[in-house]
Structure 1
Amino acid sequence: MAAKIPVVDMGKLGLGHFDSPQEEERKQVGNEIAEAFRNVGFVYLKNHGIPQQVIEEVFSSSKEFFCLDPQIKRNYSRGVTDIQGYTEVNRERLATEKDIKELRESYDINRVDGMFPEEVPALNSSTSRIIQYCKDLSTRLLALVELALGVKKNYFLSSHQRMFGANNPSCLRLLYYPPLSEGYNKEGLIRCGQHTDYGTFTLLFQDTMGGLEVLNRAGQWLHADPIPGTILVNIGDLMQFWTNDEFVATEHRVLVPSEEVKQSRARQSVVCFVHPDDEVLIEPQNSCSSVYTPITSKEHTHRRFQETYSY
């Protein structure tokens, strides 16, 4: 039977300081999350502590930006090394098949003090708020993973000191999948090609459209439909390296829904990519039996960007 994506409730942990006396509760939740990362690479989290209003504000300002004139959006284009800004359709390619077309736009925020479009003032304030919540949640998740794996305290936390600061590629990505207009050639069209994420883990906020699919270890595609009140978290390449394949960076994709009513609507999501600081050397646990060569966070991420971006 195919492993499903588990739902883990973080509510019992509260939102206070992580060193509060809840050892057994923290260990239980950490073990549930770790088990999901071992078996599927994805987990739904509920009672995660990020207010729904904060999420909705980001979706609103994101939509406002993507509805701007294309030339205005191009004024804020990102690069390969400078990763703050806009990426138009066909600039980033994740699918490896030549006959696959990906219909997707994005805006990346690596620094809250970086470039923002002056035409949408709310984008800066709304994304700055959710980034702080994402940093707090990421810190709690890293501590839970440390506890579940039995590694020393701050083993992972100490490598993520500058999230959304200088010399760290952590990024909030606003994604917009345009609607399919009437008469559009749908042959070979998808919204996001099959890929793994690059960093430690990813926090995903979905709208109600669906379309995300996850490839489990049995080679079966699972629907990762949105569940109200939850966010999805998945493992990235560097955490798979770090754990020497104990945790799996699962391939995933976004397909175009078959229902015409959904094809005529845009799809949105907000993604927080969490990465270690640039200089951190990722060395697998039990490295004597590993197939991975140690690599820094910056080297791996830059190599992946060079592979997927076209300028």
Structure 2
Amino acid sequence: MIQYTQVELLTLDGPAFRRVSTAPPRPATDEEIPIIDLSTIDGDLKAKETIATEVKAAAENTGFFYIKNHGISEELIERALTNARTFFEQTDEQKDLVFHAKFKNSVGYHGVGSSQINIKETKGLLPLQHVTSMDRKETFTLRYNPINDPSITDPTALLQNEKYSYGGDDSLWKGVSHLPSFKDTTIEFWQRRLTLARKMIRIFALALNMPENYFDEVTTHPGADALYVHYPGSPEAISQDVDAGRDIDVGIGSHTDIQCITLLWQDMSGGLQVLSASDEWLHAKPIPGTLVVNIGDFLQRLSNNKFKSTVHRVYNRQTTSRYSMPFFLGFNPDSICRVVPSCIDEEHPALYEPITCGKWHRDRLALAGSKGKMSAAS
């Protein structure tokens, strides 16, 4: 007999609960987490619509898929990974040179145990041992800066708008100036993923039966956060508990992403698990040459819940390190975003009121902060 527990998720409308099977995670099928080929993403409209059809099916099913032939070179990815490893192998004193509290906008270093993305799991209506997820990870975070955006020719006006978190990373780079190529490679990798994310959001527009440029005006200076993430190896005792099926999060707890879409590079360690439409945990195994894409809460909101922002978590079951490099795309902080017109009809009225993307992000982070400090990663 299948047994279930629940995870509590944070929303602006209060706690939401999702049923979860207690069965061990199983491999995902190709239909549950498909691989989508982007080799024609720069082609004509028909080629893009073909990709959009596949993306729509994935977005309405599990909300996760892989992309291959995405245009970001393996050479650049390897350089970025080398930088991540070099950074996290430093002493605590060296990493604290870029400790996030020294800068505005939470850029920089967040240490192990500095975040808690899930508070508890429950069984039935009663707490299940008040299980607290232990986010065993450390991160280096970079946020949007128009100076680094290849599509911005004159960033002056945006840099003067402090309300929306622009700039502020000049002193950040001074704290890593002793690491050769760290700044240049980190910015280059951020730029390439921003370019790819803008192409992907055009595909999502087509998947929502809208013109491909529908979201263009809200991605001119978007929320665009990039992280290097290190999951330290798990102590043997914790690894054994996880293997025995005990409800302990040893990487990052069960959560959904806040923004529109996430692009994720993960190493070959494994550990990313995705909650299926049938409430089962699925292994999102690493596949060489691919990135993982998943839907965030804001895109689910804009799609009137047609696209799924899926619960996921990370278990680092190994005694060795795991590395990942996620990139989160939101929309312009000052843009007012509404449910997409194609997702509304007489039988399906808009479920959400218009909201600026910046307010959405700030309110969600503030909500998380009231429950436990949060910094999402995969």
Q: Calculate the TM-score normalised by the size of structure 1.
A: 0.87
Relative distance call for 1:99 and 1:140 in structure 2 (3 A) is closer
2:37 aligned with 1:9: yes
Is 1:109 the counterpart of 2:168? The answer is no
Cα deviation, residue 135, structure 1: 1.6
Paired position in structure 2 for 1:254: 314
Distance apart, 1:72 and its partner CA: 2.2
**Equivalent residue letter for 1:246:** K
Aligned to 2:99: 77
**1:155, distance to aligned residue in structure 2 (A):** 1.6
Task: Give 1:95 deviation, angstroms.
Answer: 1.7
210 and 49 in structure 1: CA distance in 2 versus 1, 3 angstrom threshold = same
- Structure 1 residue 184, shift from structure 2 partner: 6.5
Q: Match for 2:187 among 124, 128, 135?
A: 128
Q: Deviations over 1:70-107 (max 9, x none)?
A: 12212312259613111111211112225332211011
> CA separation in 2, counterparts of 1:150 and 1:31?
10
SS at match of 1:289: coil
**What is the Cα deviation at residue 216 of structure 1?**
1.8
| Partner AA of 2:109 in structure 1 | Y
CA drift at 1:182: 5.6
The 2-side partners of 1:219 and 1:183 are apart by 28
Structure 1: gaps (5+ residues) = 164-168, 258-262
Match of 1:166 in 2: none
Q: Which residue of 349, 353, 359 maps to 1:299?
A: 359
Amino acid at match of 1:267: R
Alignment deviations for residues 173-231 of structure 1 (CA, whole Å, 9 cap, x no partner): 11000113466797634101011111110000010000000112221211101101111
- How far 1:267 sits from its partner (Å)? 0.3
Secondary structure of the 1:50 match is coil
Task: Indicate yes or no: 2:298 matched with 1:224.
Answer: no
Cα distance in 2, alignment partners of residues 30 and 202 from structure 1: 17
**TM norm structure 2:** 0.73
Task: Please say if residues 37 and 235 of structure 1, whose CA atoms lie closer than 8 Å, have aligned partners that are also in contact.
Answer: yes
Letter of the structure 2 residue corresponding to residue 211 of structure 1: G
Q: Is the 8 A contact 1:215 1:251 kept in 2?
A: yes
1:102 is paired with a residue whose SS is coil
Query: Which has the larger displacement, 292-301 or 110-119?
Result: 110-119
Distance verdict in 2 for CA 1:141–1:118, change over 3 Å? same
Please say which structure displays the higher CA radius of gyration.
2
Query: Residues 134, 238 of structure 1: CA spacing in aligned structure 2 closer, same or farther, 3 A cutoff?
Result: same
Give the direction of change, closer, same or farther, for the CA distance of 1:90–1:10 in structure 2 (3 Å limit).
same
Paired letter, 1:264: T
Percent of counterpart pairs with the same letter? 27
Counterpart of 1:264 in structure 2 is 319
Output the CA distance in 2 between the equivalents of 1:90 and 1:66: 15
CA RMSD of aligned residues (A): 2.3
Moved more, 247-256 or 296-305: 296-305
Equivalent residues, number: 295
Contact 2:261 2:329 in 1 (8 A): yes
Matched, 1:175 2:229: yes
1:151 has 2:173 as partner? no
Tell me the SS of whatever aligns to 2:105: coil
Q: Equivalents in 2 of 1:189, 1:150: separation in Å?
A: 38
User: Is residue 211–residue 225 contact of structure 1 (8 Å, CA) maintained in 2?
Assistant: yes
Letter in 1 for 2:206: L
Name the CA distance, whole Å, in 2 between partners of 1:106 and 1:68: 13
Query: Matched residue of 1:121: which SS?
Result: coil
Deviates more, 1:236-245 or 1:117-126: 117-126
